[in-house]
Structures are given as C-alpha cells and as structure tokens.
C-alpha cells in the first residue's frame, strides 16, 4: 500500500482556510484583470507555497515546544519577509525566473503570503493566544495587522516584486 499522508484536524482546517483565501485572492486578481496568476500552471505552482504558508507558523511547536506555541515571530508576516529576502539574496529568485519565468516566481510569493495570512485569520477566528502579547484584543490586533500586511502582498505583488519585470496587466 502506498504511503498515505495523514493530516491532523488542525492541519486540515488551516489548509482548508488557505484554499478558501486562495480562491478569494484569484477572484480579486481576475477582477483587476491580472491574468498572470490565473493560468492553470500558476495555480498549480502556487500550491506548495500555499501549503507551506498554512503550516509554517505552527513549526514553533516543533522548535520551542507546546509551551512556546503561537510565538509572535512565527505568527506574523516576518517569515514571509525573511524568506523572500533569502529567496532573492541567495539567487533562488533569479534561478526560478530563468527556469519557469516570472509567473512561477509570482505564484510562489502570492501562494506563500496567502497561506500565511489564512493561518493568522483562522487563529483570530479560533482565538489563539499569542505568546508575549498581553490580552486577547492585542493578540487579535497583532494577528489581524500581519494578515492585512500579507494580504497587501498577495493583492499587489507587482509593487513588491517590481512591476517592470512582470507581464503587462490586462485592463
């Protein structure tokens, strides 16, 4: 029997939230005439980044133990900006663009930022206590603010990635 990947209920909920937000994101881009991400190849290529975005925040359990879960460094936009910086600095971005074109790079960025944003939003919905930050209201503001920042990346990736290197938008 082939190897079967089992998802815990929590992992499945985060993945589902990510897919829902991804559909909303594609709808937004479609309305704006941004066809780059709507190509079936781009939708497919965004999936690994989307999955990683929904899962990465909970890696604080693995690194810090359950007592350190919902660490604000993991439950924020920081993982996106750090990885995007590494992605660019070590030359992965240039390599990916050479291999798969700008569409691939854009799909990875948007997929990952949407996945991470969906994780923050679901944690607000389920009221997850964020470590180091006192009180539920500040926790929600923290998660909501970072989800909004990631939403900005997902909605306006050209601003971040430099519009001149991307295919023209159909208006």
Nearest to 79 by CA among 41, 44, 48, 53: 53
In the complex, the smallest distance separating the C-beta of residue 119 from Zn ion, rounded to whole angstroms, is 6
Give 132: exposed, middle or buried? Use CB within 10 Å, 0-12, 13-18, 19+: exposed
- Provide DSSP, 33-84: T--GGGSHHHHHHHHHHHHHHHHHTTHHHHHH-GGG-S-TTTSSSHHHHHHH
In the complex, the smallest distance separating the C-beta of residue 32 from Zn ion, rounded to whole angstroms, is 30
Q: Closest CB to Zn ion among 73 and 159?
A: 73
Q: Closest CB to Zn ion among 46 and 143?
A: 143
Q: Closest CB to Zn ion among 36 and 57?
A: 57
In the complex, the smallest distance separating the C-beta of residue 81 from Zn ion, rounded to whole angstroms, is 18
In the complex, the smallest distance separating the C-beta of residue 161 from Zn ion, rounded to whole angstroms, is 27
Query: Looking at the chain, how many residues does it have?
Result: 171
Site for Zn ion, rule CB under 5 A: 57, 123
Eight-state DSSP code of residue 7: P
Q: Closest CB to Zn ion among 44 and 148?
A: 148
């Amino acid at each position: 029997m082939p190897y079967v990947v089992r998802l815990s209920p929590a992992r499945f909920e985060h993945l589902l939230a990510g897919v829902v937000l991804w559909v909303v994101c594609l709808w937004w881009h479609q309305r704006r005439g941004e066809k780059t991400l709507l190509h079936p190849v781009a939708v497919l290529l965004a999936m690994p980044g989307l999955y990683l975005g929904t899962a990465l925040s909970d890696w604080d359990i693995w690194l810090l133990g359950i007592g350190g879960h919902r660490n604000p460094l993991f439950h924020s936009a920081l993982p996106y900006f750090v990885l995007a910086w590494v992605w660019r600095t070590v030359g992965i971005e240039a390599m990916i663009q050479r291999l798969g074109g700008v569409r691939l790079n854009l799909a990875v960025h948007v997929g990952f930022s949407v996945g991470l944003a969906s994780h923050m939003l679901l944690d607000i919905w389920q009221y997850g206590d964020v470590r180091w930050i006192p009180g539920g209201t500040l926790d929600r503001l923290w998660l909501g603010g970072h989800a909004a920042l990631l939403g900005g990346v997902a909605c306006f990736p050209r601003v971040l990635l430099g519009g001149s290197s991307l295919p023209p938008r159909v208006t």
